[in-house]
């Protein structure tokens, strides 16, 4: 293949340790081990996509087999061994895809092949990419050979998910965690590539490419390739054009939108969002960028412009810093919770665009809750956060009132509170009293929840601690606390506990019933009935109260 026809990620793939970027420590360690003749049986390279795992594996293979030795490793005019490794045609260096050759039979064939010494080089090397895709049986078959291979045999593994590799395999390898490439280093690298390709791209556009690539060299080169191909001859790629190509938008628009949200200017907020949407920005990309902006607003005083990964320019950084001093931290945290919740909603709604608009409107209503000129704090009980995060509860933080602890609810307005008067103060001293009063007051739904879905952990004066199952109604806490105040004229604290608590009332009744049935099955009466009616089945037992005739 003509070198000019290759994509940039392949055309500028590093061929020696000097050309690797961002992995200086790894390169130095490997070079020193080869020079000292302390070569491990197996190398394991771990890291995110596109940072040079497979590339480093090939360079190590060349370093081990280069005819010129490690001190004079081929850079341009390759020897036969290096040329064969570069072209994936070397007879003693096999590069294997762990995803497609992952069975135990494939590994056994590999082990059988490893018994033969190398033909043209010093070492026989097996490079297994995405090694975590091997099956458990394949890993087990590899263990013995991996621990005590012949002197001429070396393994080089590459993976993005090291946790999926058995620890018995990891412990037999020399592990290297390749770091994510720093933004400034990656920017310098793609600048050089751009110059070599005679591309006309502004620094701001290159910074956007670096941001999107998230530290991946391959991603950065692929994006640069795409950008250069989209340009007409003599045209320059600036930030605005790059944003259109990659589906990203100017952060200043998002900062302006955020400022308008805090002011509650609904028409302008929706207008700005629709302009962003018309630029081709996907709703999920918008939410993720919004989350990123919230992070900057919360932590801007501990950040520098460089640490934002080129997401912000000088003007945007300064504007966020000025605005952040006017925003309550707890409002930012609440916005974050709503944004995460809306991100989950996007997977279940048919029109994601409309969902984002409703998300922005909800934020404006939150920010409009003000006391004089300060944004009022909206507090969420820390214990109740367990209720939100626990998947089994099926509850979310979409409606904050559903998860508030009654002790931290916003005080009811005086005119409303005076309307809720207890007709007669009722003393509730035990959980059983609470169930009984629900029955008397015909609060059937509350009684059902208390008996069926609630496990009592602790009952004290004006305080109830419970655990619950996934069927508990989402409005249970709100309804119960309201009724308790109505009946007792006192505030009650209802908290959720991680402890299992007592068995629910219904479960207790079921246990008593089962015990009665078991006792009856052991009685002489039941045995005599079964002798006469062998197909009979005991379903229920009714115990008669004292003083009632049994006839």
Reply yes or no on domain 251-376 having CATH 1.20.272.10. Answer: yes
177 vs 490, higher pLDDT:
177
pLDDT tens for 407-451 read 344 444 444 443 444 456 788 888 888 888 888 888 888 888 888
Q: What is the CATH number of domain 183-246?
A: 1.10.8.60
The C-alpha angle with vertex 181 and arms to 175 and 30, in degrees rounded to 5, equals 35
Q: Which CATH architecture has domain 3-177?
A: 3-Layer(aba) Sandwich (3.40)
Q: Which residues contact 125 (CB under 8 A, 6 or more apart)?
A: 61, 64, 65, 92, 93, 94, 153, 154, 155, 156
Residues 6+ apart with CB under 8 A from 147: 41, 172
pLDDT surpassing 60 at residue 242: yes
Q: Determine whether 170 is exposed, middle or buried from the number of CB atoms within 10 Å of its CB (0-12, 13-18, 19+).
A: middle
Tokens (6 digits) for 268? 């302008």
Round to whole Å and give the CA distance between 20 and 146: 27
Across 125-139, 479-493, 510-524, the highest mean pLDDT is recorded for: 125-139
The 3-state DSSP class for residue 210 equals helix
pLDDT value at residue 467: 85
**183-246 and 251-376 share one CATH topology?**
no
Domain ranges of the chain: 3-177, 183-246, 251-376, 379-502, 511-551
Q: How confident is the model at residue 264 (pLDDT cuts 50, 70, 90)?
A: confident
What pLDDT, in 10s, does the model give residues 35-71?
Answer: 999 999 999 999 989 999 999 999 999 999 998 888 8
Is this prediction's pTM over 0.85? no
């Amino acid at each position: 293949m003509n070198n000019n026809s290759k994509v940039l990620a392949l055309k500028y793939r590093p061929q020696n340790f000097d050309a690797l970027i961002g992995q200086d420590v790894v390169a130095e360690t490997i070079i020193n081990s080869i020079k000292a003749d302390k070569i491990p049986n197996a190398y394991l390279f771990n890291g995110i996509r596109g940072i040079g795992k497979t590339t480093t594996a090939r360079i190590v293979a060349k370093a081990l087999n280069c005819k010129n030795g490690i001190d004079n490793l081929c850079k341009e005019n390759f020897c036969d061994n290096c040329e064969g490794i570069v072209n994936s045609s070397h007879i003693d260096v096999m590069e294997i895809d762990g995803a497609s050759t992952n069975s135990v039979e494939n590994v056994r064939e590999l082990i059988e092949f490893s018994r033969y010494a190398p033909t043209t080089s010093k070492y026989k090397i097996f490079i297994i990419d995405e090694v975590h895709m091997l099956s458990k049986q394949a890993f087990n078959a590899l263990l013995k050979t991996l621990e005590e291979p012949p002197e001429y045999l070396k393994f080089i593994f590459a993976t993005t998910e090291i946790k999926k590799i058995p620890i018995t395999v990891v412990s037999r390898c020399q592990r290297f965690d390749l770091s994510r490439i720093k933004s400034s280093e990656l920017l310098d690298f793609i600048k050089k590539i751009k110059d070599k390709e005679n591309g006309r791209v502004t620094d701001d556009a290159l910074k956007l490419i670096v941001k999107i690539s998230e530290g991946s060299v391959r991603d950065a080169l692929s994006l640069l390739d795409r950008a250069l191909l989209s340009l007409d001859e003599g045209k320059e790629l600036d930030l605005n054009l790059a944003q259109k190509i990659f589906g990203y938008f100017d952060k200043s628009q998002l900062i302006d939108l955020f400022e308008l949200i805090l002011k509650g200017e609904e028409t302008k907020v929706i207008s700005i969002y629709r302009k962003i949407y018309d630029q081709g920005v996907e709703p999920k990309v918008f939410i993720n960028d919004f989350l990123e902006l919230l992070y900057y607003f919360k932590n801007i005083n501990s950040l520098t412009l460089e640490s934002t990964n080129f997401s912000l320019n000088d003007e945007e950084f300064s504007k966020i810093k000025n605005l952040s001093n006017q925003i309550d931290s707890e409002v930012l945290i609440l916005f974050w919770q709503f944004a995460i919740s809306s991100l989950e909603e996007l997977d279940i709604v048919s029109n994601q665009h409309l969902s984002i608009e409703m998300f922005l409107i909800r934020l404006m209503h939150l920010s409009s809750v003000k006391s004089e000129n300060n944004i009022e704090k909206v507090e969420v009980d820390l214990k109740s956060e367990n209720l939100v995060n626990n998947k089994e509860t099926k509850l979310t933080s979409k409606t904050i009132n559903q998860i508030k602890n009654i002790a931290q609810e916003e005080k009811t307005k005086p005119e409303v509170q005076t309307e809720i008067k207890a007709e007669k103060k009722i003393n509730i001293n035990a959980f059983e009293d609470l169930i009984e009063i629900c029955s008397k007051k015909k609060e059937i739904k509350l009684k059902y929840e208390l008996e069926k879905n609630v496990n009592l952990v602790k009952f004290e004066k004006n305080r109830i601690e419970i655990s619950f199952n996934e069927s508990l109604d989402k409005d249970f806490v709100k309804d119960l606390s309201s009724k308790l105040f109505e009946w007792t004229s006192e505030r009650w604290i209802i908290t959720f506990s991680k402890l299992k608590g007592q068995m629910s009332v219904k479960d207790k009744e079921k246990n008593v019933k089962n015990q009665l049935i078991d006792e009856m099955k052991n009685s002489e009466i039941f045995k005599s009935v079964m002798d006469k009616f062998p197909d009979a089945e005991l379903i229920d037992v009714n115990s008669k109260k004292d003083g009632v005739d049994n006839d």
